[in-house]
Amino acid sequence: MTALTPRTYFGLDNFFNDMFSAPFFGAGNRAQTPSMKTDIREKDGMYVMEMDLPGYEKGDIKAELSNGYLTISAVRDSGEEEKKDEEKGYVFRERYTGSCSRSFYVGENMKEEDIKAAYENGILTLTFPKEVPAQIPEKKYIAIE
């Protein structure tokens, strides 16, 4: 049986590999996509949706309403950051870059003006009515000559 010496156990060769593959750092998958964790609650006839989007700027987030589906998407581009990383001498980077999106069915009658959105401290909050009544077309009469 060979004894572990500080050099073989704490050697720089395996330091980063061993450190970041420990069980508390996940299953070793460093390229995980953010999950956009979301809570939805009811308050005064409205739905309040709170979505975690830490690290994104307000301009990186888009909310789109199409065919009754509310889609939230966020994009983080690392093109310029990668150049800075090389200059700063990073050995290991674990921050996420890329895009993610999530859709929720809110109903065919929902309109963009029915939805209010705010982003603060990494949390996107959307508020919209629980029920939107169907728009009944206005009657238009034709003049008879």
**So what's the pLDDT on residue 132?**
72
Give 79-99 pLDDT, tens digit per residue. Answer: 555 556 566 777 776 776 788
Buried b (16+ CB within 10 A) or exposed e, 100-121: beeebebeeebeeeebeeebee
**So what's the pLDDT on residue 32?**
47
Residue range 35-129 forms a domain whose CATH class is mainly beta
Quickly list DSSP for 79-126: HHHHHHHHHHT-S------EEEEEEEE--TT--GGG-EEEEETTEEEE
Q: Which residues of the chain have pLDDT under 70?
A: 1-34, 78-87, 93, 96, 135-140, 142-145
Element (H, E) at 64: strand 61-66
